[in-house]
Amino acid sequence: MFLSQTSALSDTQSITGINRDSKIKALLGPLWITAVFFITALSLLSSFRLGFVIWQGERVNSLNDLGLIMLSGMRIDISSLCYLFVIPILISLLSYLCNKGKSLLQRFLMVWYTVSFTLLVFLEIITPTFILEYDSRPNRLLIEYLIYPKEVFSMLWTGYKLEILISLLSLLLTNVVCGKLFKRNWLANSNASFISRIFISVFIIFLVFLGARGALGHRPLNPSMVSFSTDHLLNDLTLNSTYSVAFCLKQMRLENPSSEYYGTMPDEQVIDLVRKSTMSNIHSFKDNNFPTRTMHQASYTGKPKNLVILLQESLGARYVGKLGGLPLTPNLDKLMNEGWNLTNLYATGTRSVRGIEAVITGFTPTPSRAVVKLDKSQRDFFTVAKQLNDNGYHTQFIYGGESHFDNMKSFFLGNGFIDIVDFDDFEKVDFEGSWGASDEDLYDQAHIEFEALNKQSEPFFSLVFTSSNHSPFEYPDGKISQYDEEKHTRNNAAKYADYALGEFMKKAKNSDYWKNTVFLVVADHDSRVGGASLVPIDHFRIPGVILGENIAAKSDNRLVSQIDLAPTLLSLVGVSGHSPMIGHDLTQEIPLAKQRVMMQYGKSFAYMTPESVTILQSGKKARAFTYKDKELFDTPINKQMSERARAHVLFGTLAYQKQWYQ
């Protein structure tokens, strides 16, 4: 009797569930098929991902890693499917509202979803082969191979017959399953009223927008947002292969070569001119695969020191009293009197990622986006962190906001940083602005990190990136006497940033880590770079001061580029090694003829020496100037200097594309 009642109850619940599904299906009508394919695709991608994780289980360190891969992967999948299905969803909604065109819609959806599923399955099926070959999901290499179909198909047929067979059978099975799934779930009409259809349509549009964006914060979902490991493959597994290829395709569109703007030059000539501009002996460059890689010998030979870079957001020289700017930085001015003050230092660009590129990698600027955001440089690209990590350093990035901004997190984890500390990791935040924790909170956390790291046996390197001096210029009350009457201004924010820096340096000087740490305080770029000048050179001038227990106080008036900082810092902390950097080690004497700075301003590239400025413009002849009293004055072009400038701007593109910079 009890079993009969239980069976009857189970049958009733099943019927209720079926009826509920039928009601939803009848309500959605032609939209139902999209829901079915969306859920099926989401399950399929998650199943593939789980399979890959199990296959690569020895590289998954914990259940936490597994959870991050699967949950973050679902975010990526939802975003991917929203983009992939947005066109059929919009067309379906139009038909749904008008109650017309059902027959045409049916054929269109059948083709779209079958092709979409075929693409999704194909890219997941070939993923294991790609991982075995390249230790990553399908990426830009897949796209680049398509340019050479004859060679690629010959290679595949010779070495991958089994994989080809499995792929073809999988695609055939996918088409059969899609046909049956569509036939079983297609419904042409909806029983919902017109008002209900309007509300349902608006709700679906909202869900698709939210799903595609993948985040509620300032920025939409991107690979950096779900990166969590120094093992690039684990970060890759979080993606799906369709998303991976699509993102690489998008990134490739941003990699315009310098030659497209400034003309061509033989690679050999580029390499020769760039090598001759360095302080290294021309015969010390021996590896043609990495033409600028050579030995850099540190000037300091004692026990390796810690290194801390305090990267200041948007702090141009015009805001620094010691450099002739506004009286907004009394603390930095004081530090400049106490340390090695670089009075003639110039940024390479006008964005934070360009400053990071120069300071952390020593890479030359190009008209393309900074390497922090480009695809080929997301792993195996030289950074100070990579060299220090190889020499036993704990490497760390500290940021008061979201570390995935501007793709920083992904780039750093792929290139030598092993520890990322951002807003969610802070022990306390007393003031939170649009960009995250205030500079005071940032420095408080940095001090905590440095004290803990200093107790360990290994030296440490930390990049600390501020953000309070960024619009909308938010900072806590009662900290400074305002320079401007209105609170939220750039000048007041710069003054607060200086206050926070001063408070931190007081603590640092009284800490145990001070005596064995080299500090660099430097700006990433100036703010609001502009003006009538072809290249507003004065707006590229930034503060830079090196501090530490045994760093002698001096004012250095040499012409210095941001790319000179990395080799100088490695020399000061006592780390020698081979690297591709072409910047100067400022602990050496740099002849006047070798001093130069490079500045990328939109599509214009300026190469400045103590005597002249050569400016390359897109599609135009090079122009030469003298720079005096913050103005450019035309002079006759120097062919030798023009070639040197072109070689340096072409070098960046070549080094990136040919992967010389390792």
Which of these, 485, 506, 507, 480, lies nearest to 328 by C-alpha position? 480
DSSP-assigned states of every residue in 344-410: TEE-S-SSHHHHHIIIII-PPP-SS--TTTSSTTSSS---HHHHHHHTT-EEEEEESS-TTGGGHHH
DSSP letter, residue 201: H
pLDDT, one tens digit per residue, over 37-60 is 999 999 999 999 999 999 999 989
SS3 179: helix
Between helices 63-98 and 241-252, what is the axis angle to 10°?
80
Does residue 472 have a cis bond before it (omega within 30 degrees)?
A: yes
What is the enclosing helix (H) or strand (E) of 7?
helix 2-28
Whether 464 maps to a domain, the answer reads yes
What is the average pLDDT score of the chain? 91
Least trusted range by pLDDT, from 271-285, 466-480, 522-536: 522-536
- Whether 220 and 271 map to the same domain: the answer is no
The structure's pTM equals: 0.79
Average pLDDT score over residue span 635-649: 96
Whether 11 maps to a domain, the answer reads no
Distance CA 441, CA 474 (A): 13
Q: Does residue 149 or residue 556 have the better pLDDT?
A: 556
Q: Give the per-residue pLDDT at 201.
A: 92
Count the alpha carbons within 13 Å of 323 in the hemisphere toward its beta carbon. 27
- Whether 417 and 454 map to the same domain: the answer is yes
- Whether 465 and 332 map to the same domain: the answer is yes
Least trusted range by pLDDT, from 79-93, 239-253, 285-299, 398-412: 239-253
pLDDT range class, residue 98, cuts 50, 70, 90: confident
Given 221, 252, 283, the domain boundary residue is 252
416: left (phi over 0), alpha (psi -120 to 50) or beta: left
CB count in 10 Å sphere of residue 147: 8
According to DSSP, the residues that pair with 462 across neighbouring strands are 308, 396
pLDDT range class, residue 580, cuts 50, 70, 90: very high
pLDDT range class, residue 4, cuts 50, 70, 90: very low
Average pLDDT score over residue span 538-567: 97
Pair 537, 608: CB distance under 8 Å? yes
Q: Give the per-residue pLDDT at 166.
A: 87
- Cα torsion angle, 606, 607, 608, 611, sign: negative
Q: Give the per-residue pLDDT at 18.
A: 46
Residue 361 above 60 pLDDT?
yes
Q: CA end-to-end span of the chain, whole Å?
A: 76
Average pLDDT score over residue span 193-208: 93
Burial class of residue 133, CB neighbours in 10 A (0-12, 13-18, 19+): exposed
- Whether 504 and 434 map to the same domain: the answer is yes
Percent of the chain residues topping a pLDDT of 90? 74
CB count in 10 Å sphere of residue 228: 17
CB count in 10 Å sphere of residue 54: 10
Average pLDDT score over residue span 402-418: 93
- Whether 427 and 488 map to the same domain: the answer is yes
Distance CA 360, CA 137 (A): 27
Whether 363 maps to a domain, the answer reads yes
pLDDT range class, residue 143, cuts 50, 70, 90: confident
Average pLDDT score over residue span 525-551: 90
Which of these, 504, 506, 406, lies nearest to 462 by C-alpha position? 504
pLDDT range class, residue 11, cuts 50, 70, 90: very low
Whether 526 maps to a domain, the answer reads yes
CA torsion, ordered 197, 201, 207, 213, to nearest 10 deg: 180
- Whether 136 and 270 map to the same domain: the answer is no
Which of these, 401, 349, 377, lies nearest to 524 by C-alpha position? 349
Q: Give the per-residue pLDDT at 6.
A: 39
pLDDT, one tens digit per residue, over 415-451 is 999 999 999 999 999 999 988 999 999 999 999 999 9
Residue bearing tokens 């699967």 = 70
Whether 2 maps to a domain, the answer reads no
Residue bearing tokens 């035309």 = 634
Which of these, 411, 375, 367, lies nearest to 258 by C-alpha position? 367
What is the total count of domains within the chain?
A: 2
Q: Give the per-residue pLDDT at 8.
A: 40
Average pLDDT score over residue span 110-138: 90
Whether 406 maps to a domain, the answer reads yes
- Whether 227 and 274 map to the same domain: the answer is no
Given 205, 235, 252, the domain boundary residue is 252
Q: Which range of residues forms the domain containing residue 173?
A: 24-252
Least trusted range by pLDDT, from 129-138, 146-155, 308-317, 334-343: 146-155
CB count in 10 Å sphere of residue 656: 23
Q: Give the per-residue pLDDT at 533.
A: 79
Residue 607 above 70 pLDDT?
yes
Residue 144 above 80 pLDDT?
no
Alpha-carbon 551 to chain mean position: 33
- Whether 278 and 171 map to the same domain: the answer is no
Q: Give the per-residue pLDDT at 155.
A: 62
Q: Give the per-residue pLDDT at 1.
A: 39
Whether 550 maps to a domain, the answer reads no
Residue 5 above 60 pLDDT?
no
SS3 579: strand
Burial class of residue 303, CB neighbours in 10 A (0-12, 13-18, 19+): exposed
pLDDT, one tens digit per residue, over 469-506 is 988 999 999 999 999 999 999 999 999 999 999 999 99
Average pLDDT score over residue span 631-649: 95
Q: Give the per-residue pLDDT at 304.
A: 97
Q: Give the per-residue pLDDT at 21.
A: 61
Whether 595 maps to a domain, the answer reads yes
Token pair for 483:
């320079």
Distance CA 185, CA 361 (A): 55
Residue 27 above 90 pLDDT?
no
- Whether 245 and 285 map to the same domain: the answer is no
Distance CA 308, CA 464 (A): 7
What is the enclosing helix (H) or strand (E) of 309?
strand 306-312
- Whether 144 and 184 map to the same domain: the answer is yes
Pair 182, 188: CB distance under 8 Å? no
- Whether 182 and 295 map to the same domain: the answer is no
- Whether 377 and 411 map to the same domain: the answer is yes
Find the CATH number of the domain harbouring 421: 3.40.720.10
Token pair for 426:
């802070």
| Alpha-helix runs per DSSP H in 301-348 | 330-338
Given 237, 252, 267, the domain boundary residue is 252
